C-alpha cells in the first residue's frame, strides 16, 4: 500500500538524510525536565537525578517480526514503542525517553515514514515519553526499526526476574492469547484477500483480538498501582513470548520451580470462541502465543490481601522448590512439564 510507485508520493532521495530527519522529528516535544538535550546534537543528555537508569532495546525486522500486508505503518510505529516500554514497566520502572533508529529501502516513500512516525508520536504522547534521538540509514531490503527506551526508578523499587521464592504466588495482569489469535485472524483474511482482492473482510467479531495484535498497550498503570498498594513483587517479567517461556525465565533466574493452574489462566471470551472456530486449544495459545505485553510477577503469600479481588490481577499459580520442576496442572489435575513454546505445539522451535 505504500510502495513507491504511486503518484503524489515523495521519494526519500528528494529530502536527503538531514531533511528527512528534520521532517520526521519536527513535531516531537520534550516534556521531561530530565531530558537536558534531545534531538539535534551528537548525543542526547539525560539527568537521572537520584534514580537508577533502566535501559532496554528491541529490534524489529520486516518479514520476521511484522508483515506490512496487514500491519499498517502507524500501528507498527506505535507497537515498536510499546514493546520497549513494556520491558521498562517489567522492571517496575518509569520510561521517560526513547531513541528510534530506522533502516529503510527506497521502496518506502516519505509518506510511509510519516505514517510510521505518527504512530511513534502518538505512543510518545500517550505514554509521556521524549523522543531524544535515533539514527536513519538505508537498507537494501525491507524496513528495520530499533528502539531504545530509557527509564528511571528508585533503586529499592526495581524488580528483577531473580527474586521469586518457593511458595510465592504467581500473578498475571489482564488476559492472555488475544494478540496471537488476532494475528491468526489477520493472516486468514490476508489469504482470502490474495485469492479474491474484492472480498471485504468482516473483522467486527474479532475487534478485540485484532486490536490486541495491531495496537497493544504496555501496562503503564501497573507500577504506580503496585506502589499505591504498597506491594513490591519479588520478581517480574513482561509477557512477550508467551506465558510458558516467561514462567521458565522467572524460575531459572530465581532458582525455583512453579505450578501453573490451567483453570486459572485468564482468557477473554473472544479468545475462547475464536479458538473453538480455529479448533485450537486456548491453553496452548495462552502458554505459547506471545505478544500479550501483560506483566507476570510473583508476590509473597502475605501480600495476597493487597491484590485480592482486584480485577487487574489473577493468581495463576505458585512457586515451588527448584527440584519440584515447572508444571502445568491441567483441569483434569494432571501435571505436565512446562516447556517453552508449549510443547512446541505451535510448530516454533525454542529460540
Ligand atoms: P550522527 O551523524 O551524529 O549520527 P545524525 O545526523 O544521524 O547524527 O542525527 C542527527 C540528530 O537527529 C541526532 O540527534 C540523532 O539522534 C537524531 N536522529 C537521527 N535519526 C533519527 C530518527 N530516525 N529518529 C529520531 N531522531 C533521529
Ligand atoms: Mg546518525
Q: Is 47 annotated as a binding residue?
A: no
Q: Say if CB 162 and CB 225 are below 8 A apart.
A: no
- Count CB neighbours of 321 within 10 A: 12
72 and 152 co-located in one domain = yes
Q: Which residues of the chain are modeled with pLDDT < 50?
A: 342-345, 347-351
pLDDT value, residue 196: 86
190 and 251 together in one domain: yes
Judge whether 33 lies within some domain.
yes
Q: Is 238 annotated as a binding residue?
A: yes
| Mutational pocket test of ligand 1: of 17, 39, 104, the residue with most ligand atoms within 8 Å of the beta carbon | 39
The three three-digit cell numbers of residue 53, written as one number: 537508569
Claim to verify: residue 69 and residue 137 sit in the same structural domain? yes
In sequence order, the β-bridge partners of residue 224 are none
223 and 106 in a common domain: no
pLDDT of residue 18: 87
| Boundary-marking domain end, from 113, 133, 157 | 157
- Both 339 and 194 in one domain: the answer is yes
Identify the CA nearest to 93 among candidates 220, 238, 254, 234.
Answer: 220
Question: Is there a domain that residue 117 lies in?
Answer: yes
Q: Is the CB of 21 under 6 A from ligand 1?
A: yes
Same domain? For 147 and 189 the reply is no
Where a domain ends, among 129, 157, 185? 157
- 298, 164 Cβ separation under 8 angstroms: yes
**Per the domain annotation, does 206 fall within a domain?**
yes
Same domain, 127 and 148: yes
Q: What is the per-residue pLDDT for 345?
A: 45
Ligand 1 in contact with 81 (CB < 6 A)?
A: no
292 annotated to a ligand binding site: no
Answer for the pair 204, 195: CB distance below 8 angstroms, yes or no.
no
Q: Is residue 230 part of a domain?
A: yes
Q: Is any ligand 1 atom within 6 A of the Cβ of residue 42?
A: yes
Residue 315, all three cell numbers: 493468581
Choose among 342, 170, 351, 158: nearest CA to 256: 170
Range of the structural domain that residue 107 is part of: 12-157
19: Cβ contacts below 8 Å, ≥ 6 apart:
none
Q: How far is the CA of 220 from the centre of ligand 2 (A)?
A: 30
Question: What CATH code is carried by the domain that includes residue 212?
Answer: 3.90.650.10
Our count of domains for the chain comes to 2
Task: Examine residue 95 and state whether it is found in any structural domain, yes or no.
Answer: yes
Is the residue at 351 inside a domain?
A: no
For the CA of 28, the closest atom of ligand 1 is 25
Q: Answer yes or no: do 148 and 263 share one domain.
A: no
In the prediction, which pLDDT does 221 show?
98
Query: CA-to-CA distance for 76 and 150, rounded, in angstroms?
Result: 20
* Domain CATH code at residue 59: 3.30.1330.10
Cell numbers representing residue 240 in the block: 512477550
293: nearest Cα among 179, 170, 214, 145: 179
Kindly state whether residues 326 and 227 are assigned to the same domain. yes
Number of other CB atoms surrounding residue 67 within 10 Å: 14
Among 46, 134, 145, which residue has the most ligand 1 atoms within 8 Å of its CB, making it the best to mutate? 134
Among 124, 157, 190, the domain boundary falls at 157
Phi, psi of 88 (to 5 degrees): -70, -45
150 and 231 inside one domain: no
pLDDT in tens, 282-321: 999 999 999 999 999 999 999 999 999 999 999 999 999 9
Predicted local confidence at residue 276, as pLDDT: 97
**Is there a single domain that holds both residue 199 and residue 74?**
no
For residue 130, say whether it is annotated as part of any ligand binding site: no
Question: What pLDDT does residue 1 have?
Answer: 52
Instruction: Return the pLDDT at 344.
Output: 41
pTM over 0.85: yes
What DSSP element (H or E) covers 191? helix 178-195
Of the candidates 109, 142, 82, the one whose C-alpha atom is nearest the C-alpha of residue 20 is 109
Q: Is residue 3 part of a domain?
A: no
Based on the domain organization, do 57 and 151 belong to the same domain?
A: yes
User: Does residue 147 have its Cβ closer than 6 Å to ligand 1?
Assistant: no
- Is 325 part of a structural domain of the chain? yes
Helix (H, G, I), strand (E, B) or coil at 339: coil
Q: Pick the residue whose CA is nearest to atom 15 on ligand 1.
A: 133
Predicted pLDDT of residue 6: 57
Closest CA to 123 of 89, 81, 95: 81
Task: Check if the beta carbon of residue 313 is closer than 8 Å to that of residue 171.
Answer: yes
Ligand 1 and 6: CB distance under 6 A: no
Amino acid at each position: 500500500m505504500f510502495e513507491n510507485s504511486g503518484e503524489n508520493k515523495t521519494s526519500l532521495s528528494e529530502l536527503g538524510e538531514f531533511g528527512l530527519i528534520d521532517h520526521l522529528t519536527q513535531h516531537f516535544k520534550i516534556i521531561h525536565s530530565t531530558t537536558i538535550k534531545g534531538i539535534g546534537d551528537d548525543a542526547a543528555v539525560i539527568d537521572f537525578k537520584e534514580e537508577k537508569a533502566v535501559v532496554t532495546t528491541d529490534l524489529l525486522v520486516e518479514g520476521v517480526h511484522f508483515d506490512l500486508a496487514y500491519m499498517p505503518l502507524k500501528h507498527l510505529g506505535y507497537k515498536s514503542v510499546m514493546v520497549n516500554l513494556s520491558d521498562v514497566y517489567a522492571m517496575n520502572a518509569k520510561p521517560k525517553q526513547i531513541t528510534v533508529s530506522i533502516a529503510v529501502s527506497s521502496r518506502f516513500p516519505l509518506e510511509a515514514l510519516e505514517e510510521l512516525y505518527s504512530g511513534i508520536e502518538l505512543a510518545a504522547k500517550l505514554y509521556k515519553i521524549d523522543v531524544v534521538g535515533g539514527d536513519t540509514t538505508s537498507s537494501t531490503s525491507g524496513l528495520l526499526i530499533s528502539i531504545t527506551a530509557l527509564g528511571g526508578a528508585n533503586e529499592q523499587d526495581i524488580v528483577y526476574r531473580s527474586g521469586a521464592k518457593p511458595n510465592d504466588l504467581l500473578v498475571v495482569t489482564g488476559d492472555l492469547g488475544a494478540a496471537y489469535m488476532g494475528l491468526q485472524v489477520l493472516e486468514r483474511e490476508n489469504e482470502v484477500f490474495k485469492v479474491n482482492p474484492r472480498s471485504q473482510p468482516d473483522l467486527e467479531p474479532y475487534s478485540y483480538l485484532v486490536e490486541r495484535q495491531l495496537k497493544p498497550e504496555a501496562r503503564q498503570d501497573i507500577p504506580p498501582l503496585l506502589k499505591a498498594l504498597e506491594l513490591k513483587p519479588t520478581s517480574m517479567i513482561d509477557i512477550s513470548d508467551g506465558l510458558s517461556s516467561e514462567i521458565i525465565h522467572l524460575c531459572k533466574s530465581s532458582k525455583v520451580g512453579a505450578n501453573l493452574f490451567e483453570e486459572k489462566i485468564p482468557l477473554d471470551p473472544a479468545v475462547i470462541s475464536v479458538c473453538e472456530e480455529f479448533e485450537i486449544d486456548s491453553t496452548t495459545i495462552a502458554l505459547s502465543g506471545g505478544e500479550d505485553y501483560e506483566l507476570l510477577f510473583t508476590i509473597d503469600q502475605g501480600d495476597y490481601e493487597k491484590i485480592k479481588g482486584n480485577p487487574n490481577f489473577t493468581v495463576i499459580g505458585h512457586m515451588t522448590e527448584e527440584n519440584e520442576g515447572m508444571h502445568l496442572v491441567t483441569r483434569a489435575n494432571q501435571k505436565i512439564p512446562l516447556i517453552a513454546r508449549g510443547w512446541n505445539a505451535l510448530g516454533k522451535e525454542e529460540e
